[in-house]
Chain A
């Protein structure tokens, strides 16, 4: 797979994400961005096209810097790639999950990401001669293998510690409840074949599952009204369904 620019990835993600979350995304994009022309929160239909362009131009970040986010996007795209088996961490918006969580439940890892991402890019330049985002996919994999095994130098602890952290969070961002910003459009749940959150599973439904007859319901835990939600991110009020 050839190198894909962040802008293209975002375009792709925005298109994929549009159907399910257009109105929430649009509302948020307009509220959050300073660059937008002074429209108020808008109906999805009227401004949908413009919203896609907004998302491609600059996705609102909550905790990571733009440079950090670019690098993290490129890393997660290799950890869980988009390939013959289907969409991956990019389409799942795993990096967005991490960005959001770093302001809340994963705040204790914020420093580790600052230091680790910087070390990874420095290692990429010194060993491969280029920033990570400029490498071919194969060379990116080679760098990540060295970071994974602890062979890469220049990290605050063994590079394998940072690698394990990012891999862990990437899995959370790909396979966790979409309420937290990842697993967009249930891309992750579809990959592993999880048929979605149900508050009741009858014996008949279990049997349908056993006969491959249970279709995914694409439901989040928080599509069910009865539950309290996790603490919202400290860094930003959410206007949409998403919490932290």
Chain B
């Protein structure tokens, strides 16, 4: 029999990137917030610069709840599910994956909000890829701009603006959506190699610029600037320069006295009453069951778990799962088209041992609709990102470009010369939702508590594959212009699999027949249930989702504050 706890105003399920941000405006407004987080606290002392532990042994992910519920995955409904990974791509902790993520912190571009209408306008409706369920977002970038601004300053994002109030700054991205003001901090420093790449881009008429990062480029809010020590990739920050929600919005929310953080809280289901209003959350901590009543719940447990928790929360009012009477939960899912990378070999050292993946140079000339697609057979494009990231075990495992085997004397001589001479580009590409890509519950596999895990059924379609090949061509061109002597391309397309950039499953849109949430992130069917995270997003854009998920989370929280009496349970 679960212990029933005292009622509270808001429960946030998951204190990661999105939940961790939403807590702040709610607590600042004086609402009583309980953050239920499946993980625990980690601090600077836990973040040794240790490649084995961070990058090969899944620290600190090796000890957590998410690993018990890794989704199964298959390409499509006719294929079998592939064996599950041992480790979930995301992390349970106060701060979630923001503790060790790459911390790239992009705004989406204007086109990402209006893929359907813009494609129709410029190329005709027939150019919307067959089978895609893509919709325009219920608002444009200008609606979200104040929240991007709010999060960038609250959390701390460093970068170089390209368009302030319509005035283009050539040091930044000429294609970006208009913004009100500069970043709170300048961009992270460059390196000789990054300068060389930028120069090469300019020489072929492209517009390179440094990327934005939730990493301090100078001391900010009494936290240190980045030390560039080289263990940022899947590593926590030893000086709190990586602006996870654990060192920014969450402690600030706690300081108001209105946020209580409950770690090691494993949420199992969400309850509703006979009338279909959400009443609270069931969770387990250290084997003991609790029921936490709440007037409003914000579900922020990452894309797979958001869908899964809704589907597991069946009731008389919602026999198909909570908020799923329109059968949209799990639909419009996609993993970001961020694979199909390109690696280059240079005839000189790149000096990449010290740096971080958020330190780099980007090109958006081939993203979105920034170039004419009239003669092409796809829509959308990709961001080309070249960055500074290398550690010794990874370097020893480098691509040998077909020149030597993977061991022995010839191999050893090759890596002695070339360990610091290769570079792999990160190519994030437009990804759209499709009718037959979706999430549901696995019919067979269960977690240790007996609940079915999430199942991913998704593969890259023609449009994504074509973008993939096109962007590889562009990246090769860029590398060769900078002096690369050999290029390798990873395969394009295939099953989407379980991803760190997972979108959809609880899409946001005005139409309740095709979307789970309204334009403010609250369920069409359950007024006092909101959802946060990339699961609400209907298109990916050619960049990381985190800042967008955080801006949306702030907006949802602010909407809740302004409409508290209407939304809460009476």
Which A residues form the contact surface with B (CB < 8 A)? 78-81, 83-86, 88, 105, 141, 144, 148, 167, 171-172, 174-177, 179-180, 183, 188-189, 191-195, 197-201, 203, 205-206, 209-210, 221-222, 224, 226-230
Contact = CB atoms under 8 A, between A and B. Distances in A.
A193 B238 CA distance: 24
A180 B351 contact: no
B319 interface: no
B238 A227 contact: yes
Nearest to A81: B409
A83 B51 CA distance: 26
Contact of B227 (A80, A148, A199, A221): A199
Given A81-B412, A83-B412, A193-B420, A226 B238 contact: yes
B229 interface: yes
Nearest to B415: A192
B408 A175 contact: no
B407 A206 contact: no
A83 B409 contact: yes
A192 B50 contact: no
A191 B412 CA distance: 8
Contact of B395 (A80, A141, A192, A199): A192
A136 to B, nearest CB: 15
Interface in B29-85: 44-53, 56-57, 59
A161 to B, nearest CB: 13
Contact of B354 (A84, A188, A198): A198
Q: Which of B349, B409, B413 has the most CB of A within 10 A?
A: B409
Closest A-B pairs by Cβ, 10 of them: A227-B48, A192-B419, A201-B354, A175-B392, A176-B52, A79-B407, A194-B392, A175-B393, A221-B48, A200-B227
Nearest to B227: A200
Interface residues of B, number: 42
Contacts of B229: 197-201
Contacts of B396: 171, 174-175, 188, 192
Contacts of A148: 407
B372 to A, nearest CB: 39
B566 interface: no
B192 interface: yes
A162 to B, nearest CB: 14
A37 B412 CA distance: 42
A180 B407 CA distance: 22
Given A227-B48, A228-B48, 13 more contacts: A80-B412, A141-B408, A167-B406, A172-B56, A177-B51, A177-B52, A195-B353, A201-B230, A206-B228, A206-B351, A229-B48, A230-B57, A230-B59
Given A188-B392, A209-B354, A176 B413 contact: no
B119 interface: no
B62 to A, nearest CB: 8
A152 B154 CA distance: 59
A171 B354 CA distance: 21
| B interface SS class | loop
Given A200-B229, A210-B351, A194 B406 contact: no
A174 B416 CA distance: 13
A222 B47 CA distance: 11
A176 B231 CA distance: 13
Contacts, number: 127
Given A191-B416, A200-B229, A209 B408 contact: no
B219 interface: no
B189 A199 contact: no
Interface in B397-414: 397, 406-409, 412-413
Nearest to A208: B351
Interface of B: 44-53, 56-57, 59, 189, 191-192, 227-230, 238-239, 349, 351, 353-354, 391-393, 395-397, 406-409, 412-413, 415-416, 419-420
A206 B49 contact: no
A176 B349 CA distance: 21
Given A78-B408, A191-B412, A230 B192 contact: no
A230 B53 contact: yes
Contacts of B392: 175-176, 183, 188-189, 192, 194
Nearest to B413: A85
A167 B407 contact: yes
20 contacts: A80-B412, A81-B409, A84-B409, A86-B416, A171-B393, A176-B52, A179-B50, A189-B392, A191-B415, A192-B395, A192-B416, A193-B349, A193-B419, A194-B353, A203-B189, A209-B351, A210-B351, A222-B48, A224-B49, A226-B44
Contacts of B45: 226-228
Q: Which of B49, B228, B349 has the most CB of A within 10 A?
A: B49
A210 B50 contact: no
Nearest to B420: A193
Contacts of A141: 408
A192 B390 CA distance: 11
A228 B44 CA distance: 9
Contact of A176 (B51, B192, B239, B415): B51
B344 to A, nearest CB: 18
B50 A206 contact: no
A230 B50 contact: yes
A189 B45 CA distance: 24
Contacts of B406: 167
Contacts of B354: 198, 201, 205-206, 209
Contacts of A176: 51-52, 56, 392-393
A221 B53 CA distance: 11
A226 B239 CA distance: 11
A199 B238 contact: yes
A229 B47 CA distance: 9
Nearest to B57: A105
Nearest to A145: B405
Contacts of A79: 407-408
Contact of B50 (A88, A177, A203, A205): A177
A80 B407 contact: yes
Nearest to A191: B416
Contact of A210 (B46, B47, B192): B192
Contacts of A81: 408-409, 412
Given A199-B227, A228-B48, A85 B238 contact: no
Nearest to B354: A201
Q: Which of B351, B392, B406 has the most CB of A within 10 A?
A: B392
A78 B416 CA distance: 16
